[in-house]
Amino acid sequence: RPAGRRRRRPGGGSAAESRVRRAPGSGARGGGGGGGGGRRGGGQRGRKSHSRGQRGARTSPLSPRQAQPEPGSKGKLELPETIAVRTLAGKVGAQATAIVKYLFSQGKMVTVNDELDFETAAAVAERLGYEVVRPQDPLAAMVADEDDPPEKLQPKPPVVTIMGHVDHGKTTLLDTIRKTRVAAGEAGGITQHIGAYQVKWGDSAITFLDTPGHEAFTAMRSRGASITDIAVLVVAADDGVMPQTVEAISHAKAAGVPIIVALNKMDKPDANPDRVKQQLVEHGLVPEEWGGDTIIVPVSALKGEGIDELLEMILLVAELRELKANPERRARGTVIEAQLDRGRGPVATVLVQKGTLRTGDAIVVGQTAGRVRAMLDHQGRQVDEATPAMPVEVLGLDEVPAAGDELIAVDDERAARELAQRLREQARAEEMRRPGKASLEDLFRQVQEGQRTQLPIIIKADVQGSVEALRESLLKLSTDEVEVRIIHGAVGGITKSDVDLASTADAVIIGFNVRPDATARRAAEQENVEIRTYRVIYEAIEDVEKALQGLLEPEYREVVLGHAEVRALFRVPNVGVVAGAYVTDGKIVRGSQVRVIRDGVVVYEGEMASLRRFKDDVREVAQGYECGIGIEKFNDLKEGDVIEVFRIEEVARQAQ
């Protein structure tokens, strides 16, 4: 009865049963076979007899001494992904306590109220003679990746990933192919953001993925290799095979992707192609002219030599591989890059791999959903549909997805949001956050004294690719003594929410090309949360590595003096653009260093050129006043930008 069930104790029995268990002999003296006339099954005596009949492990099929029913002899049983022990007991007709005992014998400690995963519950049910099946899930069926009928398959352009060591000319090669000057604008010669481009060659098209070549970007490169059809490995004829070259070869081989070697910088006087070929042989890439099957094309990306032959070889390999896809099905694709755009909202660069993605389609992308509001091709032109191997920017998502997330077109927007919500709940259930004090300077001492075994880190960056690259690089720094844990990584400026999480988990916040807002800075000071910001990804990795080794000694610190909001722009002859700005906090001091922050992302860092109030040069301007600020060698200011003014102070090293 319901009332009886409410009185049952955690062990699975009623109060009466508990009293019976404490008096083992009472059942035999309870009057006439354990019942007492018409009260059998209704009073304590009836329950006592029932309890004695069920309590023995020897009577349960879950007992190792009991003969087991034939598998499936009791029919099919549908079980959900998780189920409570008590609920499972009702479904299979067994005592909850018997299931607990059985699982204990299998090394699993549970109570009758605990949730079991599908595999564990299925093992119990199958032992009791049931054939276990998962329930039909319309959402799961919607996203199932069915095989395409051969008659529906049509040829598609090859997707080519350009891989190789930093400075070997990958971006220059791609730039030469596309006939644009992308490479010239690259910061430090390293591609910070992955791009996807489609070029026409004769009657054919080729899609190129530009992936960074440094080992810090292993995550993005391996992701690129997983969605590519052909890898073009750029090797400099003067430098030869480098560690990142070997890594790139490993990723391409692991993905089962054919490799074409572009032997670059052949115009250099110290180019030695035979030496490079010998090095490639050592890593399993034997040139065709040496009896192998690796195509090697000599090129000079700088002079544009050998490019036509390289494109011809790409199309030849693509033809031999018979690359095909079904354009008539629902679209599936992969996110190459994602970011939050000020005017357009979440924007994802997606490579369509199967089907055709159309404007208006309901989509699930990782843990977010939406409807395709608009699509832009690699040249910024709006398109209504994207076919296999076509890269497009997709607008209309609720949130910024992660690079590498899968895009799936579904029936309608409601189904998309339900599926995204389910995926979010699953991810949330798997999250585990373990707190621990965190300060890079003090980390080594804490490890030595046994106070710390983990270093929790929060990563914020300007684009998802940078988040993923930092995550992979920092996780590799874990040692036997201390584990690096990335408890959160996302795109955007550092917010109070990040500081709150860092305070709870005692984590360090690392920002790449982003800054904390005023609220986050104040919260960090109050909560004593360490925020470290970087413009170069290797410096962040190096700082954490030194901290783990006990070598990090602070020599300089940054002191933020104030912030000013740009409210107007003035073009001054022979000077450039001057910002009409309002000092929102602190003070603006002439001669300081400045950062220009746009939507939480650092767009420039340099020196202040001038500071004026009305027509007068001034030394400083306090909070609440307006001023004119000129920035050295930077004119690309916009209204709404925030100018952060700071100085670097040397900190005396403490005696060890």
Q: Which residues are catalytic?
A: 167, 170-171, 214
User: CB of 627 within 8 A of CB of 588?
Assistant: yes
Length, in residues, of the chain:
656
Cα(first)–Cα(last) distance of the chain, in Å?
A: 72
User: CB of 534 within 8 A of CB of 512?
Assistant: yes
DSSP string spanning 100-146?
Answer: HHHHHHTT----TT-EEEHHHHHHHHHHTT-EEEPPP-HHHHHH--P
Give the span between the Cα atoms of 506 and 501, in whole angstroms.
Answer: 8
Tokens for 441, please give them. Answer: 């300077």
Question: Which has the closest alpha carbon to 332: 380, 381, 378, 387?
Answer: 387
Q: Is 565 helix (H, G, I), strand (E, B) or coil?
A: strand
Tokens for 325, please give them. Answer: 């896809």
- How far is CA 267 from its chain centroid? 40
Beta carbons within 10 angstroms of residue 519's beta carbon: 12
User: CB of 503 within 8 A of CB of 529?
Assistant: yes
Q: What is the 3-state secondary structure (H, E, C) of 280-338?
A: HHHCCCCEHHHCCCEEEEECECCCCECHHHHHHHHHHHHHHHCCEECCCCCCEEEEEEE
Give the span between the Cα atoms of 298 and 296, in whole angstroms.
Answer: 7
Rg (CA), the chain: 33
